[in-house]
């Protein structure tokens, strides 16, 4: 399992501005929805990625079908998908998101293959942790 230090996570979360939320949902009961809403309330920009919602507005931004359709830089790939989908997503992210700083897999999402890919690419990797929980724990919350 990959668990960066609190200092590393704090540094990432205080210097990051833009997330891509893979598995974004318009359903307020889904974790990807309320975590993204929390991140937006903390001042981050969130790009929703979900082929079923492409073109629709989610979290106040147009959803895209794939990482290749994102315009501009992404700091953190925040993944709300099953573990078996992760290696393909990480390959796509490393190819299509220049400047990507971190791949973050949400609670229960784990991929040894993705750990290696990110390590080889020099990209920070976090798995089985929630961005909302870690932000609130390390930085605090205003929402």
Please report the pLDDT score of residue 73 as a whole number: 96
Q: Record the pTM.
A: 0.94
Query: Which two tokens mark 3?
Result: 């668990």
Spatial distance between the Cα atoms of 117 and 120, rounded to a whole number of angstroms: 5
Reported as a single tens digit per residue, the pLDDT across 23-41 is 999 999 999 999 999 999 9
Q: What is the pLDDT of residues 44-67, one digit of tens each?
A: 999 999 999 999 999 889 999 999
Per-residue model confidence (pLDDT) at position 2: 55
pLDDT at 128 over 50: yes
Query: What is the per-residue pLDDT for 1?
Result: 45
**Is the model's pLDDT at 3 over the cut of 70?**
yes
Burial class (CB in 10 A: 0-12, 13-18, 19+), 68: exposed
pLDDT of 75-122, one tens digit each?
A: 999 999 999 999 999 999 999 999 999 999 999 999 999 999 999 999
Per-position b or e across 22-50, b if 16+ CB within 10 A of its CB: bbbbbeeeebbbebbbbbbebebbbbbbb
C-alpha of 142 from chain center: 20
Q: Which residue has the tokens 């932000």?
A: 135
Cα-based angle 2, 133, 126 (whole degrees, multiple of 5): 20
pLDDT band at 140; cut points 50, 70, 90: confident
Q: Could you give the 3-state DSSP secondary structure of residue 47?
A: strand
Tokens of 24: 């974004």
Residue 137: count of CB within 10 angstroms of its CB: 14
């Amino acid at each position: 399992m990959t668990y960066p230090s609190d200092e590393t996570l704090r540094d990432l979360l205080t210097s990051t501005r833009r997330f891509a939320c893979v598995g974004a949902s318009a359903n307020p009961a889904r974790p990807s929805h309320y975590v993204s809403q929390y991140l937006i309330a903390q001042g981050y920009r969130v790009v929703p990625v979900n082929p079923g919602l492409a073109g629709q507005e989610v979290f106040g931004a147009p959803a895209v079908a794939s990482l290749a359709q994102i315009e501009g830089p992404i700091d953190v790939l925040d993944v709300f998908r099953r573990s078996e989908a992760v290696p393909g997503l990480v390959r796509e992210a490393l190819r299509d998101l220049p400047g990507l700083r971190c791949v973050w897999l949400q609670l229960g999402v784990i991929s040894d293959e993705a750990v290696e890919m990110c390590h080889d690419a020099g990209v920070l990797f976090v798995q089985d942790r929630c961005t909302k929980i870690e932000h609130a724990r390390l930085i605090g919350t205003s929402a």
